[in-house]
Amino acid sequence: MSSRGLLLVLEGGEGVGKTTQWQRLADRLTQFGQDVLALREPGGTPSGDVIRELLLNPRHSLTPSAEALLFAASRAELVERSLKPALDRGAVVLLDRYLLSTYVYQGIARGLSMDGLRRINAFATGQLVPDLTLLLSLPLNEAMARTQARGEPDRLEQEARAFHERVQEGFQTATGNAWQAEYPECGPIVSVLAQGTPDEVSERCMQVLAVRWPDRFGATAARV
Ligand code: TYD
């Protein structure tokens, strides 16, 4: 895959503050004069939003494989309609969750075949590989306390603690070299500590981006 833009993904378990960081980072990247498009999974397209409702509403019951296929269907819509056109015009796409979430939630936590997930997602995305994933990490107790404070849990948040422990371990494994060699379709993954104030966390994220792309996001990069 080659494109002129950049695909930056934010990942992490429930309650790590990902949505807050996604909004802040979109603002901060825009300040560097970049054409920034912030997108979220699942959803982000008209039919993707219907699929999101199916996936997250606790009233619906789904088998693990139906769940995985619906995440992939929502992803296919998003990639084709929004993501690829934005990358082709040179935009920086900041995406809240992508393929790594599927490997961790449906693969490691639900126990589906990683190879099956790889195949349906290669079909769904046309093998669109992120340029970088920032993985926000927080101790599970802290993250779960934040989720509980948010009110009505969705279908995945309702899962037992053991499920979220597997998610946590899965994300941790993904930062290792062995994972990155085995799943190159996830692209490079960098862990960012999500403890502290939202400002401190977004500063850490920006430092990672500045080191990797000094011309775009470094101290001497042009700001608007
Ligand atoms: P969302 O409300 O977007 O929450 P969050 O702020 O945690 O991202 O819910 C998305 C849920 O879907 C979340 O529990 C993670 C899960 N998910 C998967 O299980 N597989 C996937 O491929 C994706 C993209 C998300």
- Counted residue by residue, the chain has a size of 224
What is the reported pLDDT for 220? Answer: 82
What are the φ and ψ backbone dihedral angles of 112, each rounded to 5 degrees?
-75, 160
CA of 215 to the centre of ligand 1 (A): 32
Give pLDDT tens digits for 121-144: 999 999 899 999 999 999 988 998
| Spatial separation of the C-alpha atoms in residues 194 and 208, rounded to whole Å | 14
Q: Which of 105, 121, 125, 163 has most ligand 1 atoms within 8 Å of its beta carbon, as the pocket-test mutant?
A: 105
Note whether 77 and 45 are within 8 A (CB). yes
E-strand ranges in the chain read 6-11, 36-40, 92-96, 132-137, 189-193
C-alpha dist (Å) from residue 75 to 14, 29, 45, 70, 212: 19, 23, 10, 8, 26
| 3 pLDDT tier (thresholds 50, 70, 90) | low
Ligand 1, CB within 6 Å, residue ranges: 14, 18-19, 40-42, 56, 71, 96-97, 101-102, 105-106, 154, 156
> What is the pTM (predicted TM-score) of this model?
0.95
